[in-house]
Amino acid sequence: MSKKSPWESLELTHLWDEPFPLVRERLRTHTGSEVTYVYVPGRHDWVCELPVTSEGNVVLMRQYRHVWGDYFLDLPGGGAEPGETPEAAVRRELLEEAGLEAEELIPLPKHRYLGSLIASMGNPFLALGGRHSQQAMPEDGELIEIVELPLTDVY
């Protein structure tokens, strides 16, 4: 299959650049219809991990998410830095967000997330043998509580 787009770009407008770029693009599709997409341009890869300790517990984050106005149990993870391998990113995020180091990382199938809004490849991992090595270091604006539960309570 050809990499050339079957759609024609008619107009591209940059809406803003901070805290992330956003564009609006008017397109003519392969059927001749005109559609408008609003999306984040460029590639924004990320990682997440399901950390399982040597004792068989899962480490999750109870995190406040303002857009929902509520707390959720989340997997540790975040954006990969430019040039950073998924393995390096997952180890960094695990240490920063949960204070854990994993003995073994098992990559799980990659997936695209919000494929119509952002060119983003998710790189999930199973992180086995997690052990606490330091205090978690959440970023400014992150409200995180580390929660450790038996695997049987999570799945």
**Region of poorest pLDDT, from 23-27, 66-70, 107-111:** 66-70
For residue 104, the model assigns a pLDDT of 96
pTM of the predicted structure, to 2 decimals: 0.78
pLDDT tier for residue 89 given thresholds of 50, 70 and 90: very high
* C-alpha dist (Å) from residue 55 to 58, 89, 91, 112, 131: 9, 24, 20, 32, 10
> pLDDT per residue over 26-38, tens digit each?
999 999 999 999 9
Higher pLDDT, 127 or 114: 127
Query: Is the pLDDT score of 2 beyond 60?
Result: no
What mean pLDDT is predicted for residues 47-65? 92
Cα gap 122→120, rounded to integer Å: 6
Helix (H) or strand (E) holding 93: helix 86-98
Query: Is the pLDDT score of 142 beyond 80?
Result: no
**Region of poorest pLDDT, from 34-38, 88-92, 131-135:** 131-135
For residue 36, the model assigns a pLDDT of 95
Q: Whole-number mean pLDDT of the chain? A: 89
What mean pLDDT is predicted for residues 63-73? 90
CATH number, domain 44-154: 3.90.79.10
Annotated domain spans of the chain = 8-42, 44-154
CA 97 to chain centre: 13
